[in-house]
Amino acid sequence: MKIITHPDHIQSWCLEQRCSGARLALVPTMGFFHEGHLSLMRWARERADLLVVSLFVNPTQFGPREDLKRYPRAPERDAELAGEVGADVLFMPQAEEMFPEGHATWVEVPQLSRGLCAVNRPEHFRGVATVVTKLFTLTMPTLAVFGEKDWQQLAVIRRITRDLHLPVKIHGRPTVRESDGLAMSSRNVHLSDQERAQAATIHRGLRHVADLVASGETDSSFLLSALGEMYAQEMPLGRVEYLAMVDPDQLYPVEEVGDSILLAVAVRFSNARLIDNILISAKK
């Protein structure tokens, strides 16, 4: 596996491979790999001639009071894991090379960057959209793979790709979970033992709402209220940031559960902010 650190070098290498007819897959990450990341890499590896994995903790998607410095990092371990799953290149640029002094160009999708995570992270999706667009222009992938846990991010990236006519196919892959249902996340390492035990309630609550819908309840206000009460009782160490039922494509709130809605939540613990979601349908 090659490790490339400079944007010009990754672009030259990828351009050479594409000109030779190779299908490139890209898996963008911020590192500290867990099984969720590795599952994306394995899936992409099977569908392309070459696999590029990017590892870049993007400073532009962190707010001034967020955990950029505390974001977990293990680059040597990550490189070893990426090589084991078959990555051909690990792209590990420095922030000053991706966003050099004087950088003034941003990519935004305002319609999808409101609500949900954007309420408390207003500049987050501008940073995500910009860095992903940069990665696409540098690596020129045939396909790119993202986890569905970050659903709003995935929706933004799909819209960018469509609206800018970028020649890359976007694939979302199901969330990988621990045995108790907690969505795998690099930030889970910051949970205390008590918080980790309570964090399993996040997914259990989502499944509880899905069961209520299956039994015939479709009113979003009632369902979200029931979920909030469950979290308050079973997860006292977590502060709910949002509970929302939205259209999975446009992300606008829905009042009734129909054919398909996205139930999304964010919960903040003392040193970690966790998100999760599931798709729910009232269709029998």
Q: Is 34 a catalytic residue?
A: no
Taking alpha carbons only, the member of 198, 231, 226, 199 closest to residue 210 is 226
Distances (CA, A) of 225 to 131, 134, 242, 250, 255: 36, 41, 12, 23, 13
| Residue 71 DSSP symbol | S
Distance CA 274, CA 84 (A): 28
Residues 72-94, buried b or exposed e (16+ Cβ, 10 A)? eeeeeebbebbeebebbbbbbbe
Supply 196's token pair. 């980790």
Residue of 6, 9, 34, 37 marked catalytic: 37
**Do strands 143-147 and 24-29 pair parallel, antiparallel, or not at all (unpaired)?**
parallel
Provide the residue type at 200 as one letter: A
Q: What is the Cα 94 distance to its own chain's centre?
A: 21
Distance CA 251, CA 233 (A): 28
Distance CA 173, CA 48 (A): 16
Distance CA 189, CA 40 (A): 20
- Active-site annotation, residues: 37
